[in-house]
Amino acid sequence: MVQTKVLPYGPAAIAEAARLIGGGQPVAVPTETVYGLAADATDGAAVALVYEAKGRPSFNPLIVHVRDIDQAIGLAGFDDQALALAQLHWPGPLTLVLPLRRGSAIASLVTAGLPTVALRAPAHPAMRELLEACGRPLAAPSANASGRISPTRAEHVLAGLGGRIPLIVDGGPTAHGIESTIVAVARGKLRLLRPGPIDLGLSPARAEAVEAPGQLASHYAPAKPLRLDAAEREADEWLIGFGQVAGDSTLSAGGDLVEAAACLFDRLHEAERQPRPRIAVAPVPARGIGAAVNDRLRRAASPRPAGS
């Protein structure tokens, strides 16, 4: 249990929030849609703490909040259509899913290993000032416990996450009260992944194409067979260890589950690049954020449907 402070929105609250985020902690802040639980998007361990605080049983990719289009362009590829949408609707409640720029600083846990990233420049002054003070992109899912509805007041956040996060910045009730519109932009086509405050006149993507929320069809899965709960490696396997099981690489030599979550997708990508044709992963305990690690590993290990 941590002591959860609630500070009214203002310079002192933003300074304290920036200090905590700089130290790798997640902080709840208002946006114009719902309250978000923000962490440094370039720090995998900080992002792992977001999942842990929410008690998410799985890793959904998170929305990355940016100051402006310039900062966004450093993180993702914008075609003309994406640029036009951002110019028209940012800052505001529109999230664009775009190709992740190679070598961008975004932690792989944020995108759940996907080659795309969801970006938005929020309009709420609290989140904007926090982005300015932190000087880096902030990953922020809605600040509710997993499976609960999104918070539109600081009291909702406190009821759901009190004792799990160090600070809530109280900016009163949010203006929109529903989450941002999410649109994927790829090869000149727009797909509505989540309806929201901004109506672009698109009908929701067909069921099999739905990627949000929580129904991501295209979750990253390695292109090699993956064996779970491996105590040791077989000759043709690259073993990803954990704790006592050393492996060719490790999720955490010290058996730290937050560290394991933070580097999970990096280790899977690394394993995929090895000449050995198969991947094995050591047992990971399912307590705390370990449940989400196991969920993700099970998905990565299950055979992919044809054509995906």
Binding-site ranges for Mg ion (CB under 5 A) = 142
Q: Which residue from 36, 44, 55, 247 is in contact with ligand TXA, where contact means CB under 6 A?
A: 36
The answer to whether residue 25 forms part of the interface with ligand TXA (CB under 6 A) is: no
Tell me which DSSP letter residue 188 carries: T
Rounded to the nearest whole angstrom, what is the least distance from the CB of residue 34 to ligand TXA in the complex? Answer: 5
Distance CA 103, CA 265 (A): 15
Q: Which residue from 216, 251, 279, 289 is in contact with ligand TXA, where contact means CB under 6 A?
A: 216
* Helix, strand, coil percent values for the chain (each to nearest 5): 30, 20, 50
Pick the piece of the chain touching ligand TXA (CB under 6 A) from 4-12, 156-164, 205-213, 229-237.
205-213
Q: Tell me the torsion sign for CA atoms 253, 259, 265, 270.
A: negative
The answer to whether residue 117 forms part of the interface with ligand TXA (CB under 6 A) is: yes
**Could you say which of ligand TXA, Mg ion, none residue 36 binds, taking C-beta under 5 to 8 angstroms by partner kind?**
ligand TXA
Pick the piece of the chain touching ligand TXA (CB under 6 A) from 78-86, 174-182, 201-209, 276-284.
174-182
Which three-class secondary structure string do you get for 135-179? CCCEECCECCCCCCCCCCCHHHHHHHHCCCCCEEEECCCCCCCCC
**Residues written for the chain:** 308
Q: Which of residues 276-305 bind ligand TXA (CB under 6 A)?
A: none
The answer to whether residue 63 forms part of the interface with ligand TXA (CB under 6 A) is: yes
Nearer to ligand TXA, 26 or 241 (CB): 26
Distance CA 307, CA 68 (A): 37
Rounded to the nearest whole angstrom, what is the least distance from the CB of residue 214 to ligand TXA in the complex? Answer: 6
Pick the piece of the chain touching ligand TXA (CB under 6 A) from 110-118, 247-255, 259-267, 288-296.
110-118
Say if strands 63-65 and 116-120 run parallel, antiparallel, or are unpaired: parallel
Residues 6+ positions from 210 with CB-CB distance below 8 Å: 193, 204, 217
**Could you say which of ligand TXA, Mg ion, none residue 58 binds, taking C-beta under 5 to 8 angstroms by partner kind?**
none
The answer to whether residue 212 forms part of the interface with ligand TXA (CB under 6 A) is: yes
Q: Which of residues 246-265 bind ligand TXA (CB under 6 A)?
A: none
Size of the site for ligand TXA (CB under 6 A): 28
Q: Which of 81, 209, 216, 74 is nearest to 136 (CA)?
A: 74
Distance CA 41, CA 130 (A): 13
Rounded to the nearest whole angstrom, what is the least distance from the CB of residue 32 to ligand TXA in the complex? Answer: 8
Rounded to the nearest whole angstrom, what is the least distance from the CB of residue 100 to ligand TXA in the complex? Answer: 8
Q: Tell me the torsion sign for CA atoms 281, 286, 287, 288.
A: positive
Residues that bind ligand TXA (CB under 6 A): 31, 33-34, 36, 60-63, 93, 95, 97, 111, 114, 116-118, 140-142, 179-180, 182, 193, 211-214, 216
